[in-house]
Amino acid sequence: MRRCHCIFKIGLTAALGMALLTAPATSQDAKSEGKSAGEQSASGKDTNDGHAYSGMYTFLKEGEFVQVTVEDEGHVTGFISRYGDGESDKGAFLDQFFKTGKLEENKLAFTTETVHGVWFEFTGTVERGEGKNPGDEAYYVLKGTLIENLSDVNKKVTSHVREVEFKMFPQDAGPTAEPRK
């Protein structure tokens, strides 16, 4: 009897979980039905909330990256992980968190905190890249202008402006779990 009761609980929990999982998808589908084709991504999924753009993108050098997280109402958080170029931090890995970040439709802008006299400003767009499916490398690409600002000991700021293209890393690029034995 006890085993039967446990199976019933598991079945009930699974049914409730499925109901909760399908309910938001149904309401999301109803919302996206009223949108024009231009407001939906190539996969048909509504990306106007921008959450699909969240992820890790390449940065200037091999091994460096930008982590972008799109939150509600277009608020963007994240950071740049890069190698230091200064005398005191040459080759050290530095994380520079976003001071400000905003996404409006596909227009992205962020400014990092200053670390060792250096901060970055990015303005550009999030566009579909050459990746074929969501989760593929370069499915999304950040294209725009990156300004690298450097403040010296006398507080004189030098800015280096360049056009950049940062490709999204594949979704399964993270470490994989070892199977249990």
Residue 4 has pLDDT above 50, yes or no: no
Claim to verify: residue 80 and residue 141 sit in the same structural domain: yes
Whether pLDDT at 16 is above 50: no
Q: What pLDDT score was predicted for residue 11?
A: 42
**10 plus 58 within the same structural domain:** no
- With vertex at residue 57, the alpha carbon angle to CA 53 and CA 62, rounded to the nearest 5 degrees, is 175
Indicate whether 19 and 105 sit together in one domain.
no
Task: Look at residue 181 and tell me if it is in a domain.
Answer: no
- Shared domain check, 7 and 89: no
163 and 121 in a single domain? The answer is: yes
Same domain, 17 and 76: no
pLDDT in tens, 99-139: 999 999 999 999 999 999 999 999 999 999 999 999 999 99
Residues 132-162 pLDDT 10s:
999 999 999 999 999 999 998 899 999 999 9
Sort residue 23 into left (φ over 0), alpha (ψ -120 to 50) or beta: alpha
State which residues form the domain around 17. Answer: 2-30
95 & 140 share domain = yes
Say whether both 18 and 64 belong to one domain. Answer: no
**Which residues have C-beta within 8 Å of that of residue 64, sequence separation ≥ 6?**
58, 80, 81, 82, 83
Residue 42 in any domain: the answer is no
pLDDT at residue 125, as a whole number? 98
Q: Please check whether residues 59 and 110 belong to one and the same domain.
A: yes
> Tell me, what's the pLDDT at 171?
85
Note the pLDDT of residue 85. Answer: 85
Q: Report residue 111 as tokens.
A: 């400014």
7, amino acid identity = I
Say yes or no: 84 and 166 in one domain. yes
Residue 3 has pLDDT above 80, yes or no: no
**How do residues 68-82 score in pLDDT, each as one tens digit?**
999 999 999 999 999
The arithmetic mean of pLDDT across residues 77-105, rounded, is 93
Residue of 116, 93, 111 whose CA lies nearest to 101 = 111
- Tally the domains of the chain: 2
Q: With a cut of 50, say whether residue 96 has pLDDT above it.
A: yes
Which amino acid appears at position 156 of this protein?
A: K
Closest CA to 112 of 104, 125, 123, 122: 122
Give domain status of residue 160, yes or no: yes
Same domain, 109 and 157: yes
Encoded tokens for 62: 């091999």
Question: Does residue 40 fall inside a structural domain?
Answer: no
Q: Output the 3-class SS for the chain.
A: CHHHHHHHHHHHHHHHHHHHHHHHHHHHHHHHHCCCHHHECCCCCECCCCHHHCEEEECCCCCCEEEEEECHHHEEEEEEEEEECCCCCECCEEEEEEEEEEEECCEEEEEECCECCEEEEEEEEEEECCCCCCCCCCCEEEEEEEEEEEECCCCCEEEEEEEEEEEECCHHHCCCCCCCC
pLDDT confidence of 172, banded at 50, 70, 90? Answer: confident
Percent of the chain with pLDDT over 70: 69
Residue in this structure with the two tokens 């589908």, named with its chain if needed: 29
Structural domain contains residue 180? no
Q: Is residue 97 part of a domain?
A: yes
Do both 93 and 140 map to the same domain? yes
| Model pLDDT for residues 21-71, shown as the tens digit of each residue | 333 433 344 333 433 333 344 333 444 579 999 999 999 999 999 999 999
The average confidence (pLDDT) of the chain is 78
Is 179 inside a domain boundary? no
